[in-house]
Homo-oligomer: A and B are copies of this chain.
């Protein structure tokens, strides 16, 4: 590794500016880290971001799409992801979440990512947050 690795912020067109000095995703070398995504719909200029629906299904699918947008903007795909961290607010959501997760990843070809699921607090209205670590190459 004789050349300096470039560190690049990843900002999908669908995403609003983060509410603080962090990036939706960062790539450095062959590591791509996706920041915690929630179920916000595509950014609308002049409007604050809002979750796509009150339900777990809509929020989970949108959250996964938001992670995917960062991956793709950074030159990666779900096939490159080695770790997914899932933050839910209610242990009662585990079974339904897994169904949705399985549907979403039905066509995955490579080994599925590892995953950790824990139950935490999230801002009002949010039921799920997901981040991901990808190794490219």
Contact = CB atoms under 8 A, between A and B. Distances in A.
Contacts of A21: 101-102, 105-106, 108, 112
Interface residues of A, number: 59
Nearest to A97: B20
A73 to B, nearest CB: 13
Interface of A: 1, 4-5, 7-9, 18-26, 28-31, 33-36, 79-80, 82-85, 87, 91, 94, 97-98, 101-102, 105-106, 108, 110-124, 129, 131, 133, 135, 137
Nearest to A116: B36
Contacts of A119: 120-122
Contacts of A31: 82, 135
Given A7-B135, A18-B115, 10 more contacts: A5-B135, A7-B111, A20-B97, A21-B105, A23-B112, A26-B113, A31-B135, A36-B115, A116-B131, A120-B121
Contacts of A9: 111-112
A8 B111 contact: yes
